């Protein structure tokens, strides 16, 4: 009898260890399940396997607070709230074409260009991109904050909400599930991007963009510096977002020149930086910089 019990002992120990692995440590199983579940959801939405696994790994295994920062135009939405997109107008584009600018804003336009503001902007942008970007919001001078916000809400409901990338909607849903702090840092005027809050599930106070100087509730034809494009986006992350764990920073943008600095910043901190829908020239540059490249099936180049 004693010999029989002795022979059974190794088997009992093995069984005990086996059961303890599955019963006493359910978080390990849940963790593996979460990794697969999150990755599969992103895969089904159209993300590449590499990017899906990368994002899932950070969400499931990241220690401490996770923070995600998105550009808006061309990143969350296929188009631009200021300049428009394929088949729909931009807010400022319409204000110009319908001659609705206020005198304060018109004062920022060279007199010889007053009848061709749109063309003037694009010609200048080709030569001095960031100077043109900084000038363009100043033509909104004279509007009240309420007027612009009302207009932006109308355009978002009528046009922009229909052009949000479904791949991004899936990602945002997962980020909220994991209690990620989510922000937008846009190169568009902040007032014009605020309505995205109602459609993307991002708190309005977390939607940042170019800040206009104000006189009460009236927009002045001047911007606060630095503006939220290129290196200014890094400033906004450091000044206004202040990630608690910088290695848990996720950044998404579609412009190598405009969003590139904040994408590279995230990568330097050990976070994730994704360049979206780039053309071949910027694909090679992004890969050289260590950026993760993602193309959406829903993307339509203007």
pLDDT tens digit string along 247-269? 999 999 999 999 999 999 999 99
Q: What is the mean pLDDT of residues 281-294?
A: 96
pLDDT at position 17 is: 42
Supply the CATH number for residue 200's domain: 3.40.50.1000
> What's this model's pTM, rounded to 2 decimal places?
0.89
Q: 65 falls in which pLDDT band (50, 70, 90)?
A: very high
- 171-229 per-position pLDDT tens digit: 999 999 999 999 999 999 999 999 999 999 999 999 999 999 999 999 999 999 999 99
pLDDT at position 24 is: 43
75 in a domain, yes or no? yes
Q: 19 falls in which pLDDT band (50, 70, 90)?
A: very low
Q: What is the mean pLDDT of residues 155-161?
A: 97
pLDDT at position 33 is: 85
For residue 55, the enclosing domain spans: 38-294
Task: Kindly tell me if the per-residue pLDDT of 240 is higher than 80.
Answer: yes
200 in a domain, yes or no? yes
Q: What is the mean pLDDT of residues 80-96?
A: 94
The pLDDT mean for the chain works out to 91
CB 146 within 8 A of CB 33: no
Task: Kindly tell me if the per-residue pLDDT of 5 is higher than 80.
Answer: no
276 in a domain, yes or no? yes
29 in a domain, yes or no? no
Q: Roughly how many angstroms between the first and final C-alpha of the chain, as a whole number? A: 83
Q: 86 falls in which pLDDT band (50, 70, 90)?
A: confident
CA separation for the pair 80, 69 (Å, rounded)? 18
90 in a domain, yes or no? yes
266 in a domain, yes or no? yes
257 in a domain, yes or no? yes
Which of 228, 227, 233 is CA-nearest to residue 273?
A: 233
How many domains is the chain built from? 1
pLDDT at position 30 is: 52
Q: 4 falls in which pLDDT band (50, 70, 90)?
A: very low
Q: What is the mean pLDDT of residues 56-65?
A: 95
89 in a domain, yes or no? yes
- The most confident of the ranges 3-12, 31-40, 185-194 is 185-194
Helix axis angle, 2-23 relative to 26-45, nearest 10°?
A: 40
pLDDT at position 301 is: 77
Q: What is the mean pLDDT of residues 233-245?
A: 97
């Amino acid at each position: 009898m004693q010999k029989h019990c002795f022979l059974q002992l190794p088997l009992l120990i093995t069984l005990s260890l086996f059961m303890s692995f599955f019963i006493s440590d359910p978080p390990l199983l849940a963790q593996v399940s979460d990794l697969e579940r999150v990755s599969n959801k992103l895969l089904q939405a159209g993300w590449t396997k590499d990017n899906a696994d990368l994002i899932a790994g950070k969400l499931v295994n990241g220690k401490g607070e996770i923070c995600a920062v998105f550009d808006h135009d061309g990143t969350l939405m296929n188009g631009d709230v200021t300049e428009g997109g394929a088949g729909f107008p931009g807010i400022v584009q319409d204000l110009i074409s319908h001659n609705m600018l206020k005198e304060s804003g018109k004062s920022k336009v060279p007199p010889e260009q007053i009848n061709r503001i749109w063309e003037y902007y694009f010609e200048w942008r080709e030569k001095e991109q960031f100077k043109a970007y900084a000038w363009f919001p100043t033509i909104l001078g004279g509007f009240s904050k309420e007027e612009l916000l009302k207009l932006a809400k109308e355009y978002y409901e009528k046009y922009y909400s229909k052009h949000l990338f479904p791949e991004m909607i899936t990602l945002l849903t997962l980020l909220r599930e994991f209690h990620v702090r989510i922000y937008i840092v846009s190169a568009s005027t902040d007032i014009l991007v605020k309505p995205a809050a109602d459609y993307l599930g991002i708190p309005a106070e977390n939607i940042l963009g170019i800040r206009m100087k104000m006189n009460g509730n009236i927009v002045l034809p001047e911007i606060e510096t630095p503006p939220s494009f290129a290196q200014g986006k890094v400033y906004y992350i450091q000044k206004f977002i202040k990630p608690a764990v910088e290695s848990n920073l996720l950044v998404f943008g579609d412009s190598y020149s405009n969003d590139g600095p904040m994408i590279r910043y995230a990568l330097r901190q050990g976070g994730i930086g994704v360049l979206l829908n780039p053309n071949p020239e910027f694909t090679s540059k992004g890969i050289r910089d260590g950026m993760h490249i993602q193309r959406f099936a829903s993307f339509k180049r203007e």
